[in-house]
Amino acid sequence: MKEEMFLQCWEIVSRIKLWFLSKCPFEEMSRGDYMMLNLLTQSANDGKMMTVTMMSDILKVSKAAISQSIKALKKKNLVKSISDTTDKRKSYIVLTDEGRKAYENQRKVIIKNLQECFRDVDEADLKMFCDKLTKVAEQIS
């Protein structure tokens, strides 16, 4: 029984993700760029700075792929590297002001689409849904 429920949850999440990806335009950046900026934003909000290695470990992508993405984001002036104050061999990737602005603009588009997705869900149900997702997120963090 439990296995069937997990499968049902997986199928629902997959359907929502596909709907969302088909509806949510990524105009200023690619989805991959957004994922990178999202990771950098979340880590900054947690008071942490990210290295290429850390990003590679979290996103399960090769360091070469992360470095290539970072190079492209630097060309767009969305991120920059800063050296560690104690170990000059180590550098951190951080958002520029332009990167924060681009991230926030894309985030607004995402929120608008989420509002459309949940337009027929009342506030109490939405709160319960968010509470359950938070509980799952805490278990996997």
Average pLDDT of adjacent 10-residue blocks, the chain of 141 residues: 87 85 76 92 94 95 96 96 90 96 90 88 93 89 72
* Nearest CA among 41, 96, 98, 30 for reference residue 68: 30
Give pLDDT, residue 2.
Answer: 86
Give pLDDT, residue 25.
Answer: 74
**Residue 116 · residue 92 · CB < 8 Å:** no
Give the CATH number of domain 24-140: 1.10.10.10
Helix axes 97-117, 2-23, angle to 10 degrees: 120
Q: How many Cα atoms within 13 Å fall on the side-chain side of residue 70?
A: 23
Using the structure block, give the residue that is written with the tokens 């934003």.
41
Residue spans per domain, the chain: 24-140
Give pLDDT, residue 24.
Answer: 73
Give pLDDT, residue 1.
Answer: 65
